[in-house]
Amino acid sequence: MTGAVSFHFDDGHNSHYRVLLPLFKKYGFVGSLSLIADEKRGMGFEKARMMQDEGWEILCHSKTHIKMDAPSAIDLAETEIAEAKRILEENGLHTRQYVTPMSEAHESLLPILKEHFDAAFTVYTNALTVPLPDLLEEMPLSPYRLHRACMKELPLERLIEMADYACDSGKWLVFYDHDIGYSTNVTEQILDGLLAHCKERGIPVLTSTEGLKRFA
């Protein structure tokens, strides 16, 4: 089986609507937005709904973006997991997957995540230091202990190498980043080059739901 890649963009920045929507459409791809329920920064819910209508997937990224890696995180579960999902759905944003802030979650949260979501990205990996094979999702998938590879600071050549490796290995690689072009975040130019390579080589670009179904 051919491997695949997915793209997550966190926190609902305006650059996601302004840059990502036309850029991904150029290649016939869509990605996933990880939204903070209490945040009205940048894009806001209206533009998020517009991207959803274009095929983009909405992931829940907590209510207030507080860290959830300590045992005390269980006290935040109702607000940061259940209420966050409710807020997004009340605003017309359909979400079946969760991304913990900083991609970390204490194990006590897993039963609550399973109650409200089909899958969760809860494991942090540093794409600058972790060996390439360890950046791919383990098979069979552990749907509530998924991880992602941040594109921040990585050159186009390295991102292409990662996508090619996932494709050739028959596994799933989930890229992510935040505000496009801010500081050392991935730029529009680098993303354009990576998407062009995926299109030319025939590397599948999947939503998270498609990835979960393909590699289950």
Which runs of E-coded beta strand occur in 39-192?
57-60, 95-99, 119-123, 146-147, 149-150, 172-177
State pTM to two decimals. 0.96
Residue 92, domain extent:
4-215
Q: Do 187 and 18 touch, CB atoms closer than 8 A?
A: no
Residue written as token pair 């990224």: 61
Q: Tens digits of per-residue pLDDT, 41-51?
A: 678 999 999 99
As a whole number of angstroms, the distance between CA 57 and CA 49 comes to 10
Instruction: Say if residue 93 is exposed, middle or buried (CB neighbours under 10 Å; 0-12, 13-18, 19+).
Output: buried
Query: What is the distance in angstroms between the CA of the first residue and the CA of the last residue of the chain?
Result: 12
Domain count, the chain: 1
110: CATH:
3.20.20.370
Q: Tens digits of per-residue pLDDT, 53-89?
A: 999 999 999 999 998 888 887 898 889 999 999 999 9
Q: Tens digits of per-residue pLDDT, 101-140?
A: 988 888 899 999 999 999 999 998 899 999 999 999 988 8
Mean pLDDT of the chain: 94
Locate 122 and state its tokens: 């809860």
As a whole number of angstroms, the distance between CA 163 and CA 4 comes to 8
As a whole number of angstroms, the distance between CA 63 and CA 84 comes to 5
Rounded CA Rg of the chain:
16
3-state secondary structure of 54: coil
